[in-house]
Chains A and B, each alone.
Chain A
Amino acid sequence: MANTNVFAFAESRGGELRRAALEAVTAARGVADSTGGQVHAMLAGGAGIGALAAKLAACGADVVLVLENAGFANYNPEALAATIAARLSTGGYRAAVFIASAQGRDLAPRVAAKCQLPIAADVTEFSVGADAVTVKHPGYTGKIIQSFTLRAATAVLSLRPGAVLPKESAKPGTVEQVTSAIDPSSARVVVTSTVRSEGAKLDLGEAPVIVSGGRGLRESGNFKLVEDLAAAFGNAAVGATRAVTDEGWRPHSDQIGQTGRLVSPQLYIACGISGAIQHLAGMRTSKTIVAINRDKEAPIFKVADYGIVGDVLEILPVLTAAVKEAKKGA
């Protein structure tokens, strides 16, 4: 009989669930509904992580595989990959869904290799059939959309963050405790610490809205205006161009583009960003794009749905106030 169940990796960091976890479970739910199987979501972390299982059930997990062990308090790639691979090898899984976040990008190919399976990475659209899975994946810095067919008993997929939005679909979420396939303290790769960068409360992996700043902001201190706008949205993260991370105004982890993060938020607001091809590579798949630039010829206006020509330093405070006002009314 063909495999019908779907495995989802539920990413967490520092004892907190990541938005990627809900995206993975939602995507897995969609597949399981078509194959007639169950969603099994794996949640790994230190003491207390199991308490988050209910949130996965709300997005459609039939079973939450809880791996609660002090050895998983920090990301433990080797023990986690071994445990997931052991689970997948018990059979019955049509697909294993990861999100192509920093962690998912690290974990998914390890798991695929351990199971001797091919992988479809950074997928923006997919469809799971009985013996083949077809996917779309932007390549060539987003300039070419590639369509692939993946043939394997279990399809290992990593989905681009934001490709599937978390959706409620309550399921029982029966909890099953699982143990690590290897002694977590025997792992050779050890994360000694995870350090939060300073800045906005939400990060690029979590936010449906991204407010991004470029060299047009003039100096590091003016990023306060970008952060204020992000705060007014309440669900926004702050991004930056390479010009900005090179200057050290923002950490490298905020960089969006060809050599930074690839993002697809619902709303992307580009402030004082010229729209160089390498920057567009990271954000052109955003749903709605707004650009504020004082040069009406700036290439960013070619991809923006809505543009304002003018001084970003003058416009941002006004926009922030207006967004606050609109949120109040909502």
Chain B
Amino acid sequence: MIKRVPDMDLRFKIASNGTSVDESGLKFDISDFDGYAVEAALQTKEKQADPAASEVVVISLGPDVVQETLRKAMSMGADRAVQLKCDTPVHDSYAIATALAAELKGGGYDLVMFGRMSIDTANQSTGPIVAELLGLPIITAISKLELDGGRVKARRELEGSYELIECPMPAVVTIDEGIARPRYPSLKGIMAAKKKPLEVKPAQVGEERYKLDKMELPPERTAGRIIGEGKDAVPELVRLLKEEAKVL
């Protein structure tokens, strides 16, 4: 499941409608964690006894520009792609999950991979909702993945700890950083991707009950002050933390 998102390194401007970013001058790519998910899917396929017998399918919901994102995933090595066409932006993860689940249902997938979260809306909800809608077990935010005798064995990072966790397949997983950095498409991959199948279907998006009202740039942090150089500045810092910030 891959989403097309703007490159986060750039400065954003809010469009005049107040509910979207001004796309002029932005670059778009596969959402960070979705790139890890594509890489994890490709590596999983490559580890099979007969890699040619399994297939990596990439699915994206969005307007026609997502075809570019899907082609990129195919140039990395995915076998085919599906665009769930939807021209209006949807923010309710439940509504998106409904459409993704409808496409996945009956698809015969052994493993469905999501990014831990999309880097633009940052909901971290779509994967678990899809799993529930499909009645499949799900392990979220995994940083290690192993398939063993029809089971998923994974590691999940917590605050200051990690969990070892497993479930039977078919299953859904959401991919955190740590599994693998995405590979760069090779020239051969790019050429091959042009001929790979990309199917376009209308998205069956559910009713939106979580609606975006507006976007704002965060208040600029008032640039602080450099209170001094070297260790001689420490007493002044401690005084400020105590008296001004009141955190000591």
A residues in contact (CB < 8 Å) with B: 13, 74-75, 78, 100-103, 105-106, 108-110, 112-114, 116-122, 134, 137-152, 188-197, 199-200, 202-206, 209, 237, 251-255, 258-261, 266-267, 277-278, 281, 284, 287-290, 296, 301-311, 314-315, 318-319, 322-323, 326-327, 330
Give chain A residues whose Cβ lies under 8 Å from the Cβ of B163.
Answer: 74-75, 191, 193-195
Residues on B with beta carbons closer than 8 Å to the beta carbon of A202? 160
Q: Within 8 Å of chain A (Cβ to Cβ): is B230? A: yes
Q: Which of A145, A195, A302 contacts B217 (CB 8 A)?
A: A145
Q: Tell me if B65 counts as interface (CB < 8 A to partner A).
A: no
A314 CB, min distance to chain B CBs, angstroms = 6
Query: Separation in Å of the B218 CB from the closest CB of chain A?
Result: 5
Q: Give, as a whole number of angstroms, the nearest-CB distance from A291 to chain B.
A: 8
**B contact face: mostly helix, strand, loop, or mixed:** mixed
Given A260-B177, A302-B223, does the pair A310, B162 have CB atoms closer than 8 Å?
no
Closest to B238 in A: A322
* Contact residue among B8, B129, B157 (Cβ-Cβ distance under 8 Å from A252): B157
A204 touches B221 (CB 8 A): no
Q: How far is the CA of A13 from the CA of B163 in the complex (A)?
A: 11
Query: Which residue on chain B has the smallest CB distance to residue A303?
Result: B221
B5 to A, closest residue via Cβ:
A140
**Residue B93 is within 8 A (CB to CB) of chain A in the complex:** yes
Interface SS of A by simple majority: mixed
Indicate whether A144 sits within 8 Å of B14 (C-beta atoms), given known contacts A296-B226, A314-B231.
yes
Cβ contacts A to B, 12 pairs, < 8 Å: A102-B156, A140-B8, A140-B12, A145-B216, A146-B212, A152-B209, A191-B165, A195-B162, A196-B161, A203-B159, A237-B160, A306-B227
Q: Does B214 sit within 8 A of A, measured CB to CB?
A: yes
A237 to B214, CA, bound (A): 35
Interchain CB contact (< 8 A) of B158 among A13, A114, A116, A199: A13
Tell whether, in the assembled complex, residue B245 and residue A142 are in contact, meaning their CB atoms are under 8 Å apart: no
State whether the Cβ of B133 lies closer than 8 Å to any Cβ in chain A. yes
Contact B8 A192 (CB under 8 A): no
Pairwise interchain contact A139-B121, C-beta atoms closer than 8 A = yes
B148 at the binding interface (Cβ < 8 Å): no
B167 within 8 A of A: yes
> In the assembled complex, which residues on chain B have CB atoms less than 8 Å from the CB atom of A137?
122
- B230/A311 in contact, CB under 8 A: yes
- Beyond A191-B165, A203-B161, A315-B230, list 12 extra A-B contacts (CB 8 Å): A105-B124, A109-B127, A119-B94, A146-B91, A188-B137, A189-B165, A194-B158, A197-B162, A209-B247, A267-B247, A302-B223, A322-B237
When A190-B167, A203-B160 are in contact, do A145 and B93 touch as well, CB less than 8 Å? no
Q: Does the CB pair B234–A119 fall under 8 Å? A: no
Question: Which stretch, B44-52, B54-62, B80-88, B139-147, touches the partner chain A?
Answer: B139-147
Selected contact of A277 from candidates B8, B140, B160, B228, CB within 8 Å: B8
